[in-house]
Amino acid sequence: MSWSQILDSHMASRSRLSQEDAVVLYRDAPLHALRNAANQRRVEMNGNKQVTYLIDRNINYTNVCTINCQFCSFYRPPGHEETYTQTLDEISHRVSELESIDGTRILMQGGVNPDLGIVYYTDLLKSLREKHPTIDLDCFSPIEIEGIAEVANLSTLEVLTHLKDAGMHGLPGGGAEMLVESVRKDVSPKKGSPDNWLRVMQEAQSLGLITSATNVFGFGETIENRVEHMSRIRELQDSSLADYSNGFTSFIAWPVQLENNTYGKRNRGRNKFELGAGPTEYLRHVAVSRLFFDNIDHIQASWPTMGLAIAQMALLGGADDAGSTMMEENVVSASGTNKIQASELELQDAIVRAGFVPRRRNSRYEHLETPSPITKLSELASPPPSQF
Ligand code: SF4
């Protein structure tokens, strides 16, 4: 079928898109048609008024890592003079700073550090839980869980159980990149397989932890690869919702950053259209993901990599969440993206200029009271640009 037949049929019946049909839409449909359809689905699933955001802080507790992903500029190998591992007091101080601006969660992730035993993690979580009881602790990623399991000689399920008992609320979806074996072998040969990432996430979901699904794209992979990644996540979501009534809260995609890392250097000189993704391709990816994921409630716009202006466009083409303030982000910014941090006011401003009412949320996507929100263009500090 042609892209228009597929889109017409999907929008008329709301039937689940097959992988093959999603590839045709991704490849052939005009961007405006994709965005219109995705916006309709977003309105059906999340309403047309509000856009949510989260007040949080990234904490990158260690930069020691043995995995050596080619696109990563953040990590340092063990023994390198620039390695660091934060102490409990340092981390707790950072959480106190978050509390002072009314934040509700930390996103704490780091490298796979072979010198840290499971007691470092459980003591850290227990202490944070005790000292900062109102802060949600979304911590680590599947590859870190695999690393902890190896050092502790435990299964990943046992590690997750210990971490949950110590106070962890969620396992964010870092490290998925592309869940396609051939792409993964090329860019992160030492990272766990796609099956491992999915298995650890499923284990986290079985324990009731909050999870999200991520996707870094633009490694020169095919459109079929991109849709395969989405398909593997959709399959797991089906089974986790059926088995545990707990699945991914959201899908968050962004293009790989190619500055300051081995992958960018290795591919210097390659056609710029083959790597990374520009604004229109990113918006196409967001729109297809909204149409494809009939079982994931939220699609997040990625302002840290694309900028607030493109994130606003994503909110008008399938996304319903503006992400978070990301106080102190170090991983993506190490790869060349400029300052990654936004104040609550900046996020509210961007949301209002895109035509929505901003609403604070927590990491479960439950709406929170939003003190003194800007709700109208007339309340903005500077006049709205003419395009809105
Ligand atoms: S992306 Fe994560 S796992 Fe890969 S090298 Fe960087 S810190 Fe290590």
Q: What pLDDT sits at residue 187?
A: 87
Instruction: Give the tens place of pLDDT for each residue, 372-384.
Output: 666 666 676 665 5
- In order, the DSSP letters of 13-28 are H-PPPPHHHHHHHHHH
Q: What pLDDT sits at residue 149?
A: 98
Burial category of 385 from C-beta neighbours within 10 Å (exposed 0-12, middle 13-18, buried 19 and up): exposed
Contact 171, 142 (CB under 8 A): yes
Mean pLDDT over 79-96 rounds to 96
Instruction: Give the tens place of pLDDT for each residue, 310-357.
Output: 999 999 999 999 999 877 655 555 655 555 677 888 899 999 999 999
Residue 214 lies in a domain: yes
Q: What pLDDT sits at residue 33?
A: 98
Q: Which of 297, 296, 301 is nearest to 317 (CA)?
A: 301
- In order, the DSSP letters of 155-182 are -HHHHHHHHHHHT--EE--TT-S---HH
- Cβ(65) to ligand 1 under 6 A? yes
Residue 388 lies in a domain: no
Whichever domain contains 109, its CATH number is: 3.20.20.70
Residue 22 lies in a domain: yes
Q: What pLDDT sits at residue 73?
A: 87
- Cβ(356) to ligand 1 under 6 A? no
Number of the ligand 1 atom closest to the C-alpha atom of 68? 5
Q: What pLDDT sits at residue 326?
A: 77
- Cβ(198) to ligand 1 under 6 A? no
* Residue 341 token pair: 């941090």
Q: What pLDDT sits at residue 375?
A: 67
Residue 386 lies in a domain: no
Q: What pLDDT sits at residue 132?
A: 98
Residue 385 lies in a domain: no
Residue 294 lies in a domain: yes
Residue 250 lies in a domain: yes
Distance CA 123, CA 181 (A): 35
H or E stretch at 139: strand 136-139
Could you tell me the CA-to-CA distances from 182 to 1, 178, 185, 194, 304 in Å, in that order?
28, 9, 5, 10, 27
Q: What pLDDT sits at residue 284?
A: 97
Whether 280 has a pLDDT exceeding 80, the answer reads yes
Q: Which residues pair with 57 in a beta bridge?
A: 106, 327
Number of the ligand 1 atom closest to the C-alpha atom of 188? 4
Q: Whose CA is nearest to atom 7 of ligand 1?
A: 111
Q: What pLDDT sits at residue 345?
A: 87
Domain count of the fold of the chain:
1
Residue 202 belongs to what domain range? 3-379
Average pLDDT of the chain, as a whole number = 91
> CA-based angle 37:49:347, to the nearest 5?
100
Instruction: Give the tens place of pLDDT for each residue, 126-169.
Output: 999 999 999 999 999 999 999 999 999 999 999 999 999 999 99
Burial category of 138 from C-beta neighbours within 10 Å (exposed 0-12, middle 13-18, buried 19 and up): buried
Whether 387 has a pLDDT exceeding 50, the answer reads no
Whether 23 has a pLDDT exceeding 90, the answer reads yes
Instruction: Give the tens place of pLDDT for each residue, 238-269.
Output: 999 999 999 999 999 999 887 666 666 666 65
Residue 194 lies in a domain: yes
Distance CA 71, CA 332 (A): 10
Q: Whose CA is nearest to atom 2 of ligand 1?
A: 111
Instruction: Give the tens place of pLDDT for each residue, 207-222.
Output: 999 999 999 999 989 9
Distance CA 146, CA 130 (A): 26
